[in-house]
Amino acid sequence: MYNYLDFEKPVQDLEGKILELKKLAENGEAVDVGDEISRLEKRSRDALREAYKALTPWQKVQVARHPDRPHCVDYIKGLLSDFTPLAGDRNFGEDQAIVGGFARFR
């Protein structure tokens, strides 16, 4: 399930309608909803494009901090093997925003 931001509400509504129509089509309850699904998918893409066209500074921060964005650990898993993380100085604590260590590049 995708985590929608508050300014993506119109897109979320359209995606919900698309899912409902697809379920109806799978159950055989709807005659032909293919055209309607295509039309709603186009409207969803257009709404998403419009939402991201004029973001406020706070909305840009929300996009940057989105929980579905990849994190450093995701890149480490994809690009490196035999990763051994280095710990902090044991004097204060671990900074969760910084990841460092030794690894082999694939």
Average pLDDT, the chain: 89
Q: Which pLDDT band, with edges at 50, 70 and 90, does 30 fall under?
A: low
d(CA 88, CA 85): 10
Could you tell me where the DSSP H helices lie in 28-86?
34-53, 57-64, 72-79
Give the per-residue pLDDT at 34. Answer: 83
**What is the mean pLDDT of the segment spanning 32-57?**
92
Give the per-residue pLDDT at 13. Answer: 95
Q: Which of 41, 51, 36 is nearest to 15 (CA)?
A: 41
Give the per-residue pLDDT at 75. Answer: 93
> Are the CB atoms for 71 and 96 separated by under 8 Å?
no
Residue recorded with tokens 């995708």: 2
**What is the mean pLDDT of the segment spanning 9-23?**
92
- What would the pLDDT profile of 56-88 be if each residue is shown by its tens digit? 999 999 999 998 999 889 999 999 999 999 887
Segments making up each domain of the chain, as ranges = 6-64, 72-105
Give the per-residue pLDDT at 92. Answer: 76
**How many other CB atoms are found less than 10 A from the CB of residue 88?**
11
Give the per-residue pLDDT at 93. Answer: 74
Task: Decide which of 44 and 92 is more confident.
Answer: 44
